[in-house]
Amino acid sequence: MAKILIAEDSPTAVELIKRTLNPLGHQIVIANDGENAERLILDEKPDLIILDIIMPRMNGFQLCRSLRSNPGFKDLPIIMITSMDRESDRYWGLKQGASEYLVKPVDPNLLLERVKAYLPTAA
């Protein structure tokens, strides 16, 4: 069983993502702002992060950049899920180190497909 951290400040979005991922049987950890997410990532060492960009106290771009500067997290899969849908936003997200950049509302099947690609032992 893998550990997935969801960094998202919208309770509705968290619930939708959790419902999508629950059938995979992985442990899910929730952070509702960037600083809390960073703390949990350092403590919990998740296998994959689902990261919103627009969050209080540290945005997803900042968090992603911080993680990628840490050698222990340079290969950690980070799937950004955001309402920021411009091509320049996508470019910037990938430039900060995101593994994937998905735009809300995310198709649940696409999210499952991407998570399974990074956690191949998923059911």
Q: Is residue 2 part of a domain?
A: no
Distance CA 7, CA 22 (A): 16
Domain-embedded: residue 27: yes
Is position 16 within any domain? yes
- Please check whether residue 58 lies inside any domain of the structure: yes
Asked if the structure places residue 19 within a domain, the reply is: yes
Is the entire prediction scored with pTM above 0.85? yes
The answer as to whether 32 is a domain residue is: yes
Q: What is the mean pLDDT of the chain?
A: 95
Residues 10-53: tens digit of each pLDDT:
999 999 999 999 999 999 999 999 999 999 999 999 999 999 99
Q: Number of folded domains in the chain? A: 1
Domain range enclosing 90:
7-118
| Within-domain flag for 106 | yes
CATH number at residue 26: 3.40.50.2300
Q: Distance between CA atoms of 86 and 38, rounded to whole angstroms?
A: 26
- Residues 6 or more apart in contact with residue 120 via CB below 8 angstroms: none
